Structure 1
């Protein structure tokens, strides 16, 4: 099976999605510029963020459409490409807001948007607080991307039969709501007591990852593609059954990379999730199975933004020694097998199934 980048390139998908994004951003840049001076800094930052995307969500949507009988050319295909672009805009909105809430400094090897605007404020010696300016600008930019997502999706769906467009709109609306609520659940989990009941902690961590990431990363793109191809409710349900466990496995891989990933590959500092204090399945399992020293180390240092590289190394050793890494890897394997099995038995076009299977492996078996 080809690498992820080659799979996304099939049938000219990446080029066409990028072209749809460029057209939308050009229109948006003109609209923003007409609103007032200095505002194109917003669209410039969106372009920078979108330039580094893998386009996996767009590919899951497109190849689900093709696997459910969608044509490789024509108006429906054009609409699916634009929905792929809308999914990329949606992800940009989610990342912008997530980076603010996590106080992240980098994204894909570049400064996060709030840090870029904060630096702009300082460089130009504007009045007021630079941190607050950067945060405000990034929040507004995330809102702008969310509006752009729904505008692009709306224009795409207007070209389709009414019943198909309505079903897809309902799904996009539900996706938007569940990610917003998932973000709140993530904030809530950070605030509530943690470490008293490891089983409940893991349940809460999995609830967050499903609502905040798993569904919009894999399940919703797959079901959107099926709906856009006119698939029956049974076939939509079947692809959803594949998408949710694959989405969970995708996010669990992200959680491992957030602690153990290579910064040269992930584009984020080593152990960044530890400094941000992310309460994940990995952390819950460490507290459940680690010895007293490991639990004390995690409880004391998780969420300390001043962690040194040596502190991160000590936390990594405690997490690994507890068996949590091996346990999460086993859970990823279990969920991936469940999703791949569902793909194998779903009523899909053979070539589409093959590409979706490759995309599933690319989402789960990755280093960034």
Structure 2
């Protein structure tokens, strides 16, 4: 009989996923040695990877693995799990590229409870190059692990397209809500939708699922029923819904509830709340918003929040959430029930999208 001490440890999904990071990190660092880099450069790159890639919630990377499990309808073999996790870590590397760059552009102070990477001693503007190295690591890993797969080019194009889409979203955000200049005339609900669609929805929602679909052998179809088009038609609105939730919780959530102090108002963010308020504000209320939004003092923030309450942001959000949920459910129900088709091919399944929706519907943090 096996005693308690002799039993092998049962790893959580996160622990198993994190174990693959150690492998890909070591592969990337070893490649630096093969290239003949001196020890100080190798150490810098290794620190860049360790500091910026793991440590977050890992939702995007884990979503790749979970989606593949749902599509296949079974637990993955060790080889298939490793491939899925490598793709998941490529998504987390992409996230790291954006965070390192965004923190520098926004002059942010902390990230995940630590100083932003660029604020560490000797880093500074070298962070620009470090972000480029993190992006390069994605394509190196794709080549190493998927070069012989029939969907290799699809993976490359998907990451390249997603990078461009997210950078377009960042551009829209930067020129709409500059940190040093408040101009609410640039704000609108349509502008907000475009920023969220390009800056968040593509890489946070569509990318993980599309990667899983490629790994499962789902191919593009030249018709309105293209599974990738169907997936995008659900996941992109889901991503917008998710960000609207974030914007609302930044205003309405308590620090104990959401784990941080909301700063969208003082940071001049082009959030759903300010855009919804602007759309219905009276001339007097708009004057208050223009005078106090984006100002770095508690009294201005209080006055903006008072206008939000006056125009009924809480009630408008409740109505938005209900409508968004119903719309997404309707889109999901278009997908036929079931798993692999009669020919053994893996098909899209409602469970993939329900999994995402169930995690965020009426979330409180």
Range of TM-score over shorter length: 0.7 to 0.9
Indicate whether 1:360 and 2:360 are aligned. Answer: no
- Show the 5 A alignment for 1:38-117: 40=43, 43-44=46-47, 46-69=49-72, 72-73=76-77, 75-115=79-119, 117=120
**Shift in Å at residue 366 of structure 1?**
3.4
Structure 1 residues 218-255: Cα deviation after superposition (integer angstroms, max 9, x where no partner): 12222222222122433222222221111111111222
RMSD, aligned α-carbons: 3.2
Q: 1:355 to 1:223 in 2, by over 3 A?
A: closer
1:307 equivalenced with 2:297 (yes/no) = yes
Residue 248 of structure 1 pairs with residue 240 of structure 2: yes
Is the CA contact (8 Å cut-off) linking 1:275 and 1:307 kept in structure 2?
yes
Following superposition, the deviation at residue 217 of structure 1 comes to: 0.6
Partner of 2:25: 25
Aligned positions of 1:291-330 closer than 5 A: 291-304=282-295, 306-308=296-298, 310-330=299-319
Residue matched to 1:217? 204
Structure-1-length-normalised TM-score: 0.78
Shift of 1:344: 3.9
Determine the C-alpha separation between the residues in 2 that align with 1:96 and 1:59: 21
TM-score using structure 2 length: 0.79
Contact 1:75-1:159 within 8 A present in 2 as well: no
- CA shift in 2, pair 1:317/1:14, >3 Å: same
Partner of 1:273: helix, strand, or coil? coil
What is the CA–CA distance in structure 1 between the aligned matches of 2:309 and 2:45, rounded to whole Å?
Answer: 41
What is the rounded CA distance, in whole Å, between the counterparts of 1:342 and 1:35 in structure 2? 54
Q: Which residue of 2 aligns with 1:168?
A: 155
256 and 173 in structure 1: CA distance in 2 versus 1, 3 angstrom threshold:
same
Residue 280 (structure 1) aligns with: 271
Q: Are the aligned partners of 1:93 and 1:142 in contact in 2 as well (CA < 8 Å)?
A: yes
Residue 276 of structure 1 deviates from its aligned partner by: 2.0
Shift of 1:38: 7.2
Check conservation: 2:72, 2:339, Cα contact below 8 A.
no
User: Structure 1 residues 21 and 57, CA, compared in 2 at 3 Å: closer, same or farther?
Assistant: same
Of residues 174, 177, 187, the one that matches 1:190 is 177
**Using a 3 Å threshold, how does the CA distance of structure 1 residues 302 and 212 change in structure 2: closer, same or farther?**
same
Looking at structure 2, the residues matched to 264 and 44 of structure 1 have their Cα atoms a distance apart, in angstroms, of 32
- For the 8 Å contact 2:248–2:272, the answer to whether it is kept is no
Structure 1 segments unaligned to the other structure (5+ residues)? 1-9, 122-132
Q: Which runs of 5+ in 2 are unaligned?
A: 1-9, 341-348
More helix by share: 1
Where does residue 193 of structure 2 map in the other structure?
206
Aligned runs of 1:10-21 on 2, under 5 Å? 13-21=13-21
**Superposed CA offset, 1:173-214 (max 9, x none):** 11111111111111122259954486xx11111101100101
Deviation at residue 30 of structure 1 after TM alignment: 5.5
Count of matched residue positions in the alignment of Structure 1 and Structure 2: 337
Higher relative contact order (CA 8 A, sep 6+): 1
- Distance (Å, rounded) in 2 between the aligned partners of 1:154 and 1:336: 39
